[in-house]
Amino acid sequence: MKFPGTRLLARVVLALLAVAALVAAVTGCSAIDNATKSDVAKTKVGDCINITDNSPTATEGEPIDCSSPKAVYKVHQSFDQQTECASKEYTSYTEQLASGGTAFLCLAPNFAQGACYNDVGTSPYKWVDCSSTEATFKVLQRVDGQTDELLCESAEEFITVSDPKTLFCVGKPNS
Which pLDDT score is estimated for 93? 81
Q: Does an H or E element contain 162, and which?
A: strand 157-162
Which pLDDT score is estimated for 109? 93
Q: Is residue 161 domain-resident? A: yes
What is the Cα–Cα distance from 8 to 34, expressed in whole angstroms? Answer: 39
Domain span holding position 106: 48-171
Which pLDDT score is estimated for 117? 92
Q: Is residue 140 domain-resident? A: yes
Beta-carbon contacts of 110 under 8 Å, excluding residues fewer than 6 positions away, are 48, 66, 71, 72, 73, 74
Beta sheet of 60-64, edge-to-edge order: 60-64, 48-53, 73-79, 102-109, 91-96
Q: Is residue 165 domain-resident? A: yes
**50 DSSP β-pair partners:** 62
Q: Is residue 54 domain-resident? A: yes
| pTM for the structure as a whole | 0.71
What is the Cα–Cα distance from 127 to 135, expressed in whole angstroms? Answer: 8
pLDDT per position in the chain (175 positions), as tens?
455 555 655 555 555 555 555 555 544 444 444 555 677 778 899 999 887 776 666 667 889 999 998 999 999 998 887 788 878 888 888 777 777 777 888 999 999 999 999 887 767 888 999 999 999 999 999 999 999 999 998 778 999 998 889 999 999 998 6
Which pLDDT score is estimated for 12? 56
Q: Which amino acid is at 158?
A: F
Which pLDDT score is estimated for 48? 93
Which pLDDT score is estimated for 16? 55
Look at the chain and report how many structural domains it folds into: 1
Q: Is residue 8 domain-resident? A: no
Which pLDDT score is estimated for 28? 47
Q: Is residue 149 domain-resident? A: yes
